[in-house]
């Protein structure tokens, strides 16, 4: 339950009963249960009487209002509870009633509180899209559409036909209604409510714009419109304002700026109901506080400043404050300012803490602002809270003769919701069948992909085995190549050494042969030497042939190694291709499994939604059956009430006859009462006169002696003693005796007169 706006607290004890007058004229009484800080319900007071009730429900979130809330509050207050009263003015009560019209049980109690403007005009002043969206959320609303001179603007919900054709028909209907209203002497725009056998149509026209709302039968359209208006009223407009400087007006006050100066000027604006602005500074960087009827609505300032910086700059003592009143008829709204996050509560909170550090000073400023704008801050919070709650709008007023008819709209809405749920269930079943087919296809694809993946795994295994055998062969070839290379290198080294040795030997041989030939000059020795040289040349040729043969073998081995390397690269490429194919098959398999899992999850979700829809449909059907049985019981009770009504009318006739006799007797009693009243007044006058005489005589000793029966003449002792004393002094007491006798006579007459006057009536 939300809280009500601020007002002076009523500290005295409050006693609530049906015939009890509340001690204050206008205000509210909030009920708190136990130690809760939030209220459990509210009562609105007008003229010393409780006229409206709000209460939290026992179950659910829909708040109770009217007489239902009254019964709920009485049930809550049977236990431990606290009552807090707040005193408001009649104007403040009217503002609260404008936000909470559902709380009033009787329409007569709202007269004079709500503005004269029609609630339908207030609704049409809002955004059409927001209105249609709010209507579409209501269970009792079938559909709605906005029309501008027969042209469709927007529509929501289920409509009974094509939107464009309905818009044309509505435009023609409103045109004919205008002509008929003029013929009947009824001018101006208005609204129509058409009730049919199975539903109702509300047509609202404001200017060129019209709104058509199709609802269930017996819906209270006024409460429906109040609920929609209250919900939309709490929505914050997101459009940016123009943020332009306001023109200068008549300057009411002027002075140095500061926190206290701003509060003082705001108090003046509140008292004078100023519509204008409070300006700080005169340059282009001046800051203006927008005021409408004394209430701050917005703030304009430079674009590079935040809201806090603008307010701090406004309270600077170097600036000059001027309170301007703009001409009558000027309309200022929240969008006029350049700070869209402006709110009255935020403004008051920042104003009390800006340029103030001590807590006592801040508390003092907050108390001043709360006294000045406390109610408006609370009303602003109430509007925001009211947009978040709902009241039951299908309940008719108390003056409606048939209480059972209020259940028709709810049961019809339930039936329509049940039909929608059935259609949705059929659509979900069809979607479920489609998803099942897709799931089967996905399962087949998964199996095929799995088979392909298995084949790819087998091929990959074969290729891996071939690769391993080829690798072993390549390793053997590499060992042979290494050995042959080593042998070749050794043969080349040996051939090189032999060649060098042969060359050396040939050189030495030639040298020795030349020397020997010179020395010996023998031909035989020359022949032997030549044969030896020839033999050595033959050996050299053999060695050269061996070297050439080994070189040829080495070339062949290198060619074989190159071929094996090419085969190895080819096998590696085949293995990589097989691995890529295997990886692709694995990824496709994972993707198919993921798709299958998501489809299974979606299928489970659809099955859960279908089950929930079936449960809701069954619950709606059970509610409809309960409503039907409840209507039958209500009709039976209605018949019994009609029979009791006839009996009561018969008894009322008898009572009317007895009333005439009683009135005659009452007339005689009234005359006797008037006579007794006159006698009573005369007796009271005599008693007052006797009291005056007794008061005068109570001061005289002689009178006390005569009036007091117990003391008789004992009180005359002092008088006699004085007379004796006077005789002893030589005074003549003759004159005193005569005076005493005269006084005694007067006293005796007075006593007799008093004795005749009754002391009690």
| In a domain? residue 664 | no
| In a domain? residue 660 | no
| In a domain? residue 752 | yes
Query: In which band, very low, low, confident or very high, does the pLDDT at 412 lie, cut at 50, 70 and 90?
Result: low
Task: For residues 194 and 135, give the distance between their C-alpha atoms in angstroms, rounded to a whole number.
Answer: 18
User: Is the predicted pLDDT of residue 451 greater than 50, yes or no?
Assistant: yes
Average pLDDT, the chain: 75
Inter-axis angle of helices 259-272 and 344-353, nearest 10: 150
| In a domain? residue 656 | no
- In terms of residue numbers, what domain contains 582? 408-650
Query: In which band, very low, low, confident or very high, does the pLDDT at 366 lie, cut at 50, 70 and 90?
Result: confident
**Range with lowest mean pLDDT among 400-404, 592-596, 729-733, 741-745:** 400-404
- Which tokens belong to 174? 């409103």
Among candidates 3, 101, 103, 2, which has minimal Cα distance to 61? Answer: 2
Output the pLDDT for position 761.
Answer: 37
* 185-243 pLDDT per residue, tens: 665 556 777 777 677 888 777 766 778 888 877 777 767 776 676 666 544 343 334 45
| In a domain? residue 640 | yes
Whether 528 and 642 map to the same domain: the answer is yes
Whether 98 and 148 map to the same domain: the answer is no
User: Is the predicted pLDDT of residue 394 greater than 50, yes or no?
Assistant: no
As a whole number, mean pLDDT of residues 150-155 equals 80
| In a domain? residue 219 | yes
Whether 429 and 569 map to the same domain: the answer is yes
% of the chain with per-residue pLDDT over 70: 79
Task: Indicate the residue among 176, 199, 233 that finishes a domain.
Answer: 233
* 45-98 pLDDT per residue, tens: 888 888 888 888 887 777 888 888 888 888 888 878 888 888 888 888 888 887
* 624-661 pLDDT per residue, tens: 788 778 888 888 888 888 888 888 888 888 888 888 88
Whether 228 and 256 map to the same domain: the answer is no
What domain count does the chain have? 5
What predicted TM-score, i.e. pTM, was given to this entire model?
0.41
Chain center to CA of 470: 76
User: CA–CA distance from 622 to each of 18, 61, 475 (Å)?
Assistant: 39, 22, 85
Whether 90 and 193 map to the same domain: the answer is no
| In a domain? residue 668 | no
User: Is the predicted pLDDT of residue 718 greater than 80, yes or no?
Assistant: no
User: CA–CA distance from 202 to each of 27, 163, 214, 265 (Å)?
Assistant: 35, 16, 7, 48
Q: What is the rounded radius of gyration, in angstroms, for the C-alpha atoms of the chain?
A: 58
Secondary structure percentages of the chain, helix, strand, coil, to 5: 60, 15, 25
Tell me which of 518 and 702 has the higher pLDDT: 518
- Sequence-separated (6 or more) residues with CB below 8 Å from residue 701: 715, 716, 718, 719
Query: φ and ψ at 81, to 5 degrees?
Result: -155, 165
Task: Indicate the residue among 650, 671, 687 that finishes a domain.
Answer: 650
What CATH number should be reported for the domain holding residue 513?
A: 1.10.287.2610
Among candidates 209, 743, 126, which has minimal Cα distance to 387? Answer: 126
| In a domain? residue 401 | no
- Sequence-separated (6 or more) residues with CB below 8 Å from residue 522: none
Whether 48 and 141 map to the same domain: the answer is no
Q: Cα torsion for 418, 423, 427, 433, to the nearest 10°?
A: 80
Whether 592 and 457 map to the same domain: the answer is yes
Whether 504 and 604 map to the same domain: the answer is yes
Whether 453 and 553 map to the same domain: the answer is yes
């Amino acid at each position: 339950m939300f809280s009500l706006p601020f007002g002076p607290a009523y500290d005295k004890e409050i006693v609530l009963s049906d015939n009890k007058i509340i001690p204050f004229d206008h205000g509210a009484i909030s009920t708190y249960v136990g130690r809760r800080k939030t209220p459990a319900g509210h009562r609105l007071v007008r003229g010393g009487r409780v006229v409206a009730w709000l209460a939290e429900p026992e179950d659910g979130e829909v708040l109770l209002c009217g007489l239902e809330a009254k019964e709920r509050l009485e049930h809550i207050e049977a236990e431990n509870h606290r009552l807090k009263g707040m005193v408001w003015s009649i104007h403040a009560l009217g503002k609260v009633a404008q936000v909470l019209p559902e709380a009033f049980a009787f329409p007569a109690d709202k007269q004079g509180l709500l503005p004269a403007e029609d609630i339908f005009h207030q609704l049409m002043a809002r955004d059409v899209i927001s209105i249609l969206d709010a209507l579409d959320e209501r269970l009792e609303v079938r559909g709605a559409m906005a029309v501008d001179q027969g042209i469709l603007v927007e529509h929501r919900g289920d409509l009974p036909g094509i939107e464009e054709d309905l818009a044309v028909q509505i435009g023609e209907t409103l045109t004919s209604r205008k002509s008929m209203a003029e013929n009947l002497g009824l001018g101006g725009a208005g609204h129509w409510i058409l009730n049919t056998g199975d539903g109702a149509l509300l047509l609202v026209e404001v200017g060129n714009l019209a709104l058509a709302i199709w609802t269930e039968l017996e819906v209270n359209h006024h409460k429906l419109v109040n609920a929609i208006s209250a919900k939309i009223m709490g929505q914050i407009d997101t459009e940016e304002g123009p943020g332009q400087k306001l023109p200068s007006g008549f300057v009411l006050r002027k002075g140095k700026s500061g926190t206290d100066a701003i509060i003082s000027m705001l108090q003046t604006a509140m008292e004078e109901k100023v519509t204008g602005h409070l300006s700080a500074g005169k340059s282009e960087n001046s800051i203006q506080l927008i005021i409408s009827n004394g209430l701050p609505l917005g703030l304009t300032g430079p674009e590079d400043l935040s809201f806090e910086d603008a307010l701090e700059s406004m309270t600077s003592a170097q600036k000059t404050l001027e309170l301007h009143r703009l001409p009558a008829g000027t309309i200022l709204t929240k969008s006029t300012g350049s700070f869209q996050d402006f709110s009255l509560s935020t403004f008051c909170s920042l104003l009390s803490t800006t340029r103030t550090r001590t807590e006592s000073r801040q508390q003092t400023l907050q108390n001043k602002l709360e006294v000045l704008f406390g109610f408006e801050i609370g009303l602003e919070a109430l509007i925001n809270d009211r947009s978040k709650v709902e009241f039951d709008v299908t309940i008719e007023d108390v003056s409606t003769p048939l209480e059972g008819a209020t259940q028709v709209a709810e049961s019809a809405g339930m039936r329509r919701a049940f039909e929608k749920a059935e259609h949705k269930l059929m659509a979900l079943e069809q979607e479920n069948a489609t998803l099942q087919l897709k799931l089967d296809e996905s399962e087949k694809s998964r199996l095929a992909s799995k088979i392909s993946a298995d084949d790819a795994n087998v091929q990959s295994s074969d290729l891996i085995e071939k690769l391993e055998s080829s690798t072993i062969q390549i390793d053997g070839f590499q060992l042979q190549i290494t050995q042959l290379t080593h042998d070749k290198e050794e043969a080349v080294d040996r051939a090189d050494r032999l060649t060098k040795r042969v060359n050396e030997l040939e050189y030495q041989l030639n040298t020795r042969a030349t020397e020997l030939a010179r020395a010996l000059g023998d031909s035989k020795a020359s022949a032997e030497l030549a044969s030896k040289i020839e033999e050595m040349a033959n050996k050299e040729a053999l060695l050269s042939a061996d070297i050439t043969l080994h070189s040829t073998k080495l070339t062949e081995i290198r060619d074989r190694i190159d071929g094996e390397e090419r085969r190895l690269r080819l096998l590696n490429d085949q293995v990589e291709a097989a691995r890529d194919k295997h990886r692709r098959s694995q990824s496709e398999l994972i993707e198919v499994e993921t798709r299958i899992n998501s489809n299974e999850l979606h299928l489970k979700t659809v099955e859960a939604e279908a089950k929930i829809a079936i449960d809701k449909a069954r619950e709606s059907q059970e509610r409809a059956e309960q409503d039907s049985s409840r209507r039958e019981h209500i009709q039976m009770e209605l018949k019994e009430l009609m029979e009791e009504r006839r009996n009561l009318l018969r008894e009322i006739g008898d009572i009317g006859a007895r009333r005439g006799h009683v009135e005659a007797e009452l007339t005689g009693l009234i005359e006797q009462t008037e006579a007794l009243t006159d006698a009573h007044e005369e007796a009271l006058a005599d008693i007052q006169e006797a009291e005056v005489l007794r008061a005068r005589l109570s001061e005289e000793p002689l009178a006390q002696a005569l009036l007091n029966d117990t003391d008789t003449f004992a009180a005359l002792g002092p008088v006699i003693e004085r007379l004796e004393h006077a005789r002893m002094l030589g005074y003549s007491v003759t004159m005193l005796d005569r005076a005493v006798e005269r006084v005694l006579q007067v006293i005796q007459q007075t006593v007799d007169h008093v004795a005749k006057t009754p002391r009690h009536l």
